[in-house]
Amino acid sequence: MSNRDAVICSFYTPDEYYGGHARELREQLESLGIGHELLEIQKRPGEDWADVTRRKIGFIRDICHKHPDKMVFWIDVDCRITHLPDYITNSTADFIGFQRSFGSPLQIGYHNRTRFWEPSFWGVNATEQGRKIVDDAYELEQRAVLKATDDYFLEEAWRANARKITFQMIPSTAIVRDRKQLEPGAREPFFAFGSSGNVADFKDKVVQHGTGAKLSPKKKLLKQAKKLEKALPDSIKKPLRRIADSTGLTGILTAGSTRSIDPARSRMIGEILGGSIKGDGELYVKAKAEFDNKYIASYGEESIIHAAEAFLSYSAKESEKKIKLAWWSKPFPGNFGDWLSPLIVSHYTDAALTIQAPVKPAGKKHIIALGSIGRFIKSNSVVLGTGISTDDLELNTKADYVSVRGPITARVLKESGGPTVTAFGDPGIAISRIIPVKRDKTNGRIAFVRHFSHTSIPMQLPANMDELSVLMSKPEAIKEFVAELAKYDKVLTSAMHVMITCQSYGIPCGLVTFAGYEENVHGSGIKYEDYALGAGVEVMNPQVIGLDLRKENLDALIKDIRVSEAKKDEVEDHIRQALQRFGKK
- Encode pLDDT of 283-304 as tens digits: 999 999 999 988 878 888 999 9
Lowest mean pLDDT among 137-146, 192-201, 430-439: 192-201
CA 183, 185, 186, 190 torsion-angle sign: positive
Q: What is the pLDDT of residues 484-529, one digit of tens each?
A: 999 999 999 999 999 999 999 999 999 999 998 888 887 888 999 9
Q: Please report the pLDDT score of residue 258 as a whole number.
A: 47
Q: What is the mean pLDDT of residues 78-89?
A: 93
Identify the residue with better confidence: 445 or 236.
445
423, 407 contact by CB (below 8 A)? no
pLDDT digits 0-9 by tens, 18-36: 999 999 999 999 999 999 9
The answer to whether 6 and 71 have CB atoms below 8 angstroms apart is yes
Task: Calculate the alpha carbon distances from 409 to 233, 383, 412, 453, 469 in Å.
Answer: 22, 12, 5, 24, 29
Q: What is the pLDDT of residue 110?
A: 66
Pairing of strands 6-12, 35-40: parallel
Question: pLDDT tens digit string along 478-488?
Answer: 999 999 999 99
Whether the pLDDT of residue 323 is over 90: the answer is yes
Cβ atoms 64, 169 nearer than 8 A: no
Contact of 79 with 194, CB cutoff 8 Å: yes
Handedness of CA 343, 369, 251, 109 (dihedral sign): negative
For all residues of the chain together, what is the average pLDDT?
89
Binned at pLDDT 50, 70 and 90, residue 232 comes out as: low
CA torsion, ordered 364, 497, 542, 173, to nearest 10 deg: -90
Q: Distance between CA 241 and CA 246 in Å, rounded?
A: 8
Torsion of CA 244, 246, 252, 256, to 10 degrees: 110
45-49, 354-358, 406-410: least confident range: 45-49
Q: Which of 147, 128, 146 is nearest to 136 (CA)?
A: 128
The pLDDT, as a whole number, for residue 268 is: 95
Q: Mean pLDDT lowest for which of 227-231, 298-302, 326-330?
A: 227-231
pLDDT of residue 201: 44
Are residues 275 and 283 in contact, defined by beta-carbon separation less than 8 angstroms?
yes
